[in-house]
Amino acid sequence: MEFEKLQHAAAHSQPPDVSMAKLTKDRQQTTHRLTRALLLSVVFLTFIWALGNGVPFSSQQQSKGPDVAKVQQCAIDNFHSDLSFLDPAVPIKADEFLERRDRLARALVASGVDAFVLEPGYTFQYYGNISQVDWEPWEPEERPFLMLVLPQTLETGEVVAKTAFLAPHFEEGRVRMLGIPSRDGAELDIVVWEEHWDPYATLMESHLFKQKKTTKEDGEEATHAPPKLMMDEEIRDFIARGLAATGFETVGLSPEAELVRQIKSPAEVELLRAVNTGTVMAVRAMRPCLVPGLTEDEVRDVLDAALLSVGFGLFFDIVLFEEHGALPHGGVRYWGDEADGGEHGDNPIVDHLPRAHYLGYSSDICRSFFIDPPKQQSSWLDRLNSFLPSCMGSSLFRRNDGTDLSSSSSPELRAEKFKVWDIVLEAQSAAAAAFMPNHTAAGVDIAARTIIEEAGYGYGFTHRLGHGIGIKAHESPYLNKWNKKVLLQPGMTFTNEPGIYLEGKFGVRHEDIYLVKEEGEAELLTGRRATGPYDP
């Protein structure tokens, strides 16, 4: 009976009231759950793929800078692959220092001068093999320590140099220990003065100038012209004034005296060839090692390390990217400017002006070259972003640094860079052909300047063409279009460095070193010139 009652109740019961809206909502919720699960699976699988392929997935990893140490080692290894440029270079021998002084003595006679006066510095280094830092490493000494070169005429009529020194008495021993070359190894002739003496009066009363005084028959001292001293261009003003106040007649450098340093010996030529060729080769060795993200300072440091690795000394090195190169010697922005990491669009141009010393002689070269920008590779987030449906809010996966690293320079600017590079090289070639004996210094400048002016960029060639080079990076004669009195002579060495500088855009300079020969074309002392924008 109970079973039959239950059957009857079931047969007469009503089904639940299920609406179509509720069914639709349930289906939508199920679809969303499945979609989210699918997207999470895609994100997870992409993340696993990125880890397996070494793809950076954090902003910290993406912003990691270049491995500067690796770049530096690459440059050093490339540089050391061929150091044959050093083989002909040897230190200047003692006999050459004596020969230089003899040449100076003859120039003093021609100039009507009794003695040449100099103190530690580049000129002292040239005649005595002692630089400023050899004498005082920290700063120039206020106590006068002077070298004097006096002409003497031998019985044969030959003019030779007598070398003497003025030094504080307590420094006499140190002066003798410096190893200043002397004729036949003779002991140095040193006039000493005590701290409470007048050093210049001591010099006047010394045996060096005593022969300038004679006595008349009545016992009175005869009157003679005061000793005439030629001042080196580097001598400090207080010394020149002290000598003049004591009664010496002081005069400046004569052309004859300047010519002694301007004409280089074969040994000097080989030293200049070694240090300048080596500096260019260091730049070439470094270039293929450069990577995106390096700053100007980092590139400079990489080259400096390469130069130091072969025994070169550093004293002035500039690296300039793009518009910074429009200032020939740079500006304050290139020192540690982290914002300039080498990402400057299509074909960024690098101006490199390194200078170094080797065995006392200077390099002064410049190379302007191009580097292709890296191909932009998207991060795993960007790749994921490219296929996620827009309805899912894909902007959450975009980088938000506000910098468009893929921007590039205009085709017009790119073309102008290459055009200017070629114009400057042509101007350098014209100047090289003008390095001939008896040509004026002005004529060499004008040869290069004419090429640049005819190309329409005369306004951008803002400096002289070049200058002499030797112990100092900048020596006379100077190549500018007003220097019409100086005639080039065999043995002179010069920089040849035309440039075009377009402020706010870029700058290009090519710089090499040339030796004027007895006849024919000048000799290149930097190995070879740049051959193209990618081959400095």
pLDDT tens for the 536 residues of the chain, in order = 554 554 554 445 545 454 555 556 566 666 666 666 666 665 555 655 555 555 554 444 445 788 999 999 999 999 999 999 999 999 999 999 999 999 999 999 999 999 999 999 999 999 999 988 889 887 888 999 999 999 999 999 999 999 999 999 999 999 999 999 999 878 999 999 999 999 999 999 999 998 665 555 666 666 678 999 999 999 999 999 999 999 999 999 999 999 999 999 999 999 999 999 999 999 999 999 999 889 999 999 999 999 999 999 998 888 988 888 888 887 644 333 444 444 444 556 777 788 999 999 999 999 999 987 666 555 544 443 333 333 322 222 222 233 332 344 689 999 999 999 999 999 999 999 999 999 999 999 999 999 999 999 999 999 999 999 999 999 999 999 999 999 999 999 999 999 999 999 999 999 999 999 999 999 999 999 999 999 99
The closest alpha carbon to 114, from 252, 229, 206, 246, belongs to 229
Which run of H or E residues covers position 431? helix 411-434
- 115 DSSP β-pair partners: 229
Which run of H or E residues covers position 166? strand 159-168
Counting runs of H as helices and runs of E as strands, what totals does the chain give? Answer: 16, 17
CA 192 to chain centre: 41
Cα 135 from Cα 179, distance rounded (Å): 12
Residue-level pLDDT at 25:
59
Residue-level pLDDT at 59:
44
Cα 157 from Cα 4, distance rounded (Å): 157
> Rounded to 5 degrees, what are φ and ψ at 252?
-85, 180
Residue-level pLDDT at 383:
41
Residue-level pLDDT at 97:
97
Cα 475 from Cα 453, distance rounded (Å): 27
Cα 289 from Cα 76, distance rounded (Å): 10
The 10 Å Cβ neighbour count of residue 453 is 15
Cα 177 from Cα 190, distance rounded (Å): 13
Please name the residue that has the structure tokens 């740049």: 530
Cα 106 from Cα 123, distance rounded (Å): 17
3-state helix, strand, coil in the chain (%, to 5): 45, 20, 40
- CB within 8 A of 477, min separation 6: which ones? 262, 441, 467, 468, 483, 486, 488, 492, 494
CA distances from 39 to 46, 51, 58 (A): 10, 18, 20
The closest alpha carbon to 136, from 163, 158, 168, belongs to 168
> Rounded to 5 degrees, what are φ and ψ at 487?
-105, 135
- The pTM (predicted TM-score) of the whole model is 0.81
Q: What is the 3-state secondary structure (H, E, C) of 169-235?
A: HHHHHHHHHCCCCCHHHCCCEEEEECCCCCHHHHHHCCCCCHHHCCECCCCCECCCCCCEEEECCCC
Mark out the alpha helices in 226-265 (DSSP H runs). Answer: 237-246, 255-262
Termini Cα distance of the chain: 111
- 215-249 per-residue burial string, b: 16 or more CB within 10 A, e: under 16: eeeeeeeeeeebbbbbbbeebeeebbebbeebebe
Residue-level pLDDT at 60:
43
Are 499 and 461 in contact by the 8 Å Cβ rule? The answer is yes
The closest alpha carbon to 423, from 316, 502, 305, belongs to 502
Residue-level pLDDT at 21:
57
Residue-level pLDDT at 371:
84
> Rounded to 5 degrees, what are φ and ψ at 240?
-60, -40
Residue-level pLDDT at 65:
80
> Rounded to 5 degrees, what are φ and ψ at 526?
-120, 25
Are 523 and 487 in contact by the 8 Å Cβ rule? The answer is no
- 118 DSSP β-pair partners: 147
> Rounded to 5 degrees, what are φ and ψ at 500?
-130, 130
Which run of H or E residues covers position 321? strand 313-321
Cα 274 from Cα 272, distance rounded (Å): 5
Residue-level pLDDT at 333:
41
The closest alpha carbon to 144, from 187, 210, 202, belongs to 202
Interhelix angle 380-387/20-52, rounded to 10 degrees, is 150
Cα 149 from Cα 171, distance rounded (Å): 20
